[in-house]
Amino acid sequence: MTLTPERWQRARDILHEAMEMEHEDMSAYLDSQCASDPSLRAELKELLAAEGEIDSSFLEKPALANATPPSQTSDRTSVLPSGTTLGPYVIQSLIGAGGMGEVYRARDASLKRDVAIKVLPASFSRDPDRLRRFQLEAEAAAALNHTNILSIFHIGQQDGSPYIVTELLEGETLRDRLRRGALKLRDAIDIAIQAAKGLAAAHEKGIAHRDLKPENLFLAKDGHVKILDFGLAKLMQPTAGSDTPTASLRDHTDAGRVLGTVGYMSPEQVRGQPADTRSDIFSLGCVLYEMLTGKRAFRKPTSVETMNAILNEDPPAASDITRAIPPALERVVHRCLDKSPERRFQSAADLAFALDALSDSAAAGTGVTRGTAAQPDSGTGGSRKVWLALSVVLLLASMGLGWWYWKRRPIEKGEIRQRQLTATTAENPILQAAISRDGKYLAYSDKDGISIQDVVNGDAYRLPGILTILVL
């Protein structure tokens, strides 16, 4: 049903009120507000699911709990009873349901293992666009083989309903975890690293996800992060001579059509422009921001306002929400969320590398970060002198190695300009500094260790130097 302006205003008012409620109160509130208009309730359910506010099956749980045989269910919900067979697979129970189908726990009778089966109901398969997206998800995911991407075992069809058989995961989605608040710094970085590595593997095959969000990141009990749902995946133009198994995939999406989830879409997706792998980096930046702060990077009262914020606004600095975020990590997040794809990380592999360099700084409970020397025992003057002498010697050695490395880089002549590159404080002054011969990089040391700074964009990276390793 098409929403008229008046109907949309009513839907928006109810939606705003519902989103302020706890999940256990939300269903009852919608029931009371939409008692005379069941179609409006269905539309609100889809809007809430699109916002990622709830599991898309949440409002249907009472119906699923008392599900009748498939022949008696509506077109909207088609639940397969326990014991139903799909080829060699025997359905055991329903795991969840969403806009792209239902997911069941099943038993592979031939290989004697438990699997997950995602089924697109027959009523949905009659929608050519939905069926096309489901098939594209299967093709894209089946072409990938990486520890951080959900493994596909089989693709089949029965009684007009296509299905995908995947590995069965035990754990929870990142969305479920975020409902308990922001993550520890170490955990957030680790999840982002694994997600970036999974994306890098997909991008190498020419596939962009285009719908990365907490609902599509699964935190398995064994510690692995799995990327789910390549239903919006797009195959970029393969390189000349490419013989990858994904070369036959095609982009079936329509030009100018907005695809993705509001709040996690990149600016180019909001505009309906072509979205490449750098769009996934923007989305992962949104997810990382939310893991660190417990708040969404872009969230406004309505979807339209949220999309406008993605196009024209920067989110509040993560350090303004929680001071536990290191400046270097905040710069990584800021770079992911740049409005221009050209100014983001240009590959997921580069992003994973940058995050990996920061991962040790989140060691829980130690109070010691990478590049930060442990404080000497202030009660012993002799120990302090030894520590200081060792620090000076090792610092000079590290600086010498750094200078030798940068000296080997080719020299590019350019115009001489004068500018301030660092800001020093009385608490943490710059001890020594050297600029590379090509003028592109600055190496400097302070009490926290040695850093390399990109002169052009100001990004600085802490080096795990000899000093830090020995002292720690």
CATH number of the domain where residue 107 is located = 3.30.200.20
pLDDT (average), residues 293-319: 91
- Which residue, 119, 147, 167, sits at the end of a domain? 167
Phi, psi (rounded to 5 degrees) for 318:
-60, -35
For residue 140, is it within any domain?
yes
211 is catalytic: yes
For residue 104, is it within any domain?
yes
More confident residue, 232 or 168: 168
Q: Are residues 102 and 82 in the same domain?
A: yes
Q: 58, exposed or middle or buried, with CB in 10 Å at 0-12, 13-18, 19+?
A: middle
Q: Are residues 181 and 86 in the same domain?
A: no
For residue 235, is it within any domain?
yes
Cβ atoms of residues 265 and 212 within 8 Å = no
Res 40 pLDDT > 70: yes
For residue 56, is it within any domain?
no
Q: Are residues 247 and 136 in the same domain?
A: no
For residue 114, is it within any domain?
yes
- The active-site residue out of 55, 108, 190, 211 is 211
For residue 373, is it within any domain?
no
The reported pLDDT for the residue numbered 393 is: 57
The reported pLDDT for the residue numbered 252 is: 43
Q: Are residues 229 and 256 in the same domain?
A: yes
More confident residue, 370 or 11: 11
What is the number of structural domains in the chain?
A: 4
Identify the three-state secondary structure at position 103. Answer: strand
For residue 204, is it within any domain?
yes
Q: Are residues 390 and 427 in the same domain?
A: yes
Q: Which amino acid makes up residue 364?
A: A
- Of 178, 212, 170, 206, nearest in space to 194 by CA: 212
The pLDDT tens digits of the residues spanning 43-100 come to 777 666 654 444 333 333 332 333 333 333 344 445 788 999 988 999 999 988 765 6
For residue 371, is it within any domain?
no
What is the length of the chain? 472
The reported pLDDT for the residue numbered 124 is: 64
217-220 and 460-463 beta bridge pairing: unpaired
Q: Are residues 351 and 439 in the same domain?
A: no
Q: Which domain holds residue 109?
A: 65-167
| pLDDT band for position 370 (cuts 50, 70, 90) | very low
Domain with residue 334: its CATH number is: 1.10.510.10
Largest interatomic CA distance in the chain: 84
More confident residue, 150 or 378: 150
What are the start-end ranges of the H helices in 239-380?
Answer: 267-270, 277-293, 303-312, 318-321, 327-336, 348-359
Copy the structure tokens of residue 93: 């129970």
The reported pLDDT for the residue numbered 41 is: 77
Q: Are residues 144 and 262 in the same domain?
A: no
- Of 164, 169, 110, 106, nearest in space to 134 by CA: 164
b (16+ CB within 10 A) / e for 348-382: bbebbebbebbbbbbeeeeebbbbbbeebeeeeee
Res 470 pLDDT > 50: no
Q: Are residues 280 and 347 in the same domain?
A: yes
